[in-house]
């Protein structure tokens, strides 16, 4: 999958691209059929909501689930990022965010690179998120909100919020967010399951809690250029990966055919990956 000149210009201007219905219902079903068994496991990779058994995010499923291992090598998700950066990429982070019906909590205003810089010592913002919707996303079930153009401001001042939710985050204060929205506006891409979003690691974003009866599960590949790999191993490896091997894509039909993939954590998370 290659981006057009117009798409590259739009990405440079806005900091994100939205691709409705990029994956077919058949491809999405392969993934959604796998999610309940992943969320049911009491592995360290499952972070649950504060005061709830609902999964907030599942990390590193590509290390022990065959469908998600294939997704991690999918050309529709990886090749556009390689095109933008002009360099091979590795998997910095892989997560299935659970924003479950009635239980999905907020994700505060933040830049992902802020966390990657502060916690992992990633040198530059040569990393990007690519996400696909496993459920339809509407205005009621906590869609991602972006401030277009905010990626051009570089790394913003942020405070380390360890109290609001079950997952610590480097968050941006309300006065700054008000100023940024006045400057750049606010958007919330919505669409059917199988839609894909690609967004810059400095793009300011957030999502509200999900008070609707509809789940909003999404998969995020955080892809970093190999030369820009992290320098600090402060967080567990299942959150911030330490294997900087360039991703080799599988064929485009990899979700519908059983291509062989390595599953090194299938029998449990290695002790070394917990530190």
pLDDT digits (tens, 9 = 90+) for 217-243: 999 999 999 999 999 999 999 999 999
Q: What is the mean pLDDT of the chain?
A: 95
**Exposure string over 244-262, b if 16+ CB within 10 A, otherwise e:** beebeebeeebbeeeeebe
**Under 8 Å between Cβ of 28 and 193:** yes
> What would the mean pLDDT of 86-99 be, rounded to a whole number?
97
**Exposure string over 42-68, b if 16+ CB within 10 A, otherwise e:** ebebbbbbeeeebbbbbbbbbbbbbbb
With a pLDDT cut of 90, the percent of the chain lying above it is 89
pLDDT band, residue 158 (cuts 50/70/90) = confident
Domain ranges of the chain: 12-274
Residues 6+ apart with CB under 8 A from 170: 110, 111, 114, 115, 118, 119, 158, 159, 160, 161
With a pLDDT cut of 70, the percent of the chain lying above it is 100
149 conformational bin, left if phi > 0, alpha if psi -120 to 50, beta if neither = left
> What would the mean pLDDT of 76-81 be, rounded to a whole number?
98
Domain 12-274 sits in CATH 2.60.120.620: yes
């Amino acid at each position: 999958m290659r981006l057009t000149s117009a798409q590259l210009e739009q990405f440079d201007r806005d900091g994100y691209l939205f691709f409705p219905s990029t994956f077919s219902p058949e491809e999405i079903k392969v993934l959604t059929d796998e999610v309940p068994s992943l969320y049911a496991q009491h592995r360290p990779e499952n972070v649950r909501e504060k005061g709830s058994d609902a999964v907030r995010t599942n990390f590193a499923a590509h290390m022990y689930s065959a469908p998600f291992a294939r997704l991690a090598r999918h050309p529709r998700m990886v090749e556009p990022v390689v095109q933008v950066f002009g360099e091979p990429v590795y998997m910095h982070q892989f997560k299935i965010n659970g924003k479950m019906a009635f239980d999905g909590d907020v994700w505060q205003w933040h830049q992902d690179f802020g966390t990657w810089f502060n916690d992992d010592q990633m040198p530059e913002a040569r990393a990007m998120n690519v996400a696909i919707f496993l459920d339809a996303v509407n205005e009621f079930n906590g869609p991602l909100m972006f401030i277009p153009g905010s990626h051009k401001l570089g790394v913003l001042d942020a405070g380390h919020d360890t109290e609001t939710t079950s997952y610590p985050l480097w968050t941006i204060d309300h006065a700054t967010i008000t100023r940024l929205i006045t400057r750049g506006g606010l958007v919330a891409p919505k669409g059917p399951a199988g839609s894909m979003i690609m967004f810059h690691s400095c793009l300011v974003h957030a999502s509200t809690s999900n008070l609707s009866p509809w789940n909003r599960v999404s998969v995020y590949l955080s892809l970093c250029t190999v030369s820009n790999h992290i320098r600090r191993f402060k967080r567990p490896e299942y959150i911030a990966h330490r294997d900087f091997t360039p991703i080799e894509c599988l064929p485009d039909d990899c979700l519908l055919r059983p291509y062989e993939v390595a599953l090194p954590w299938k029998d449990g998370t290695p002790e070394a990956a917990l530190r």
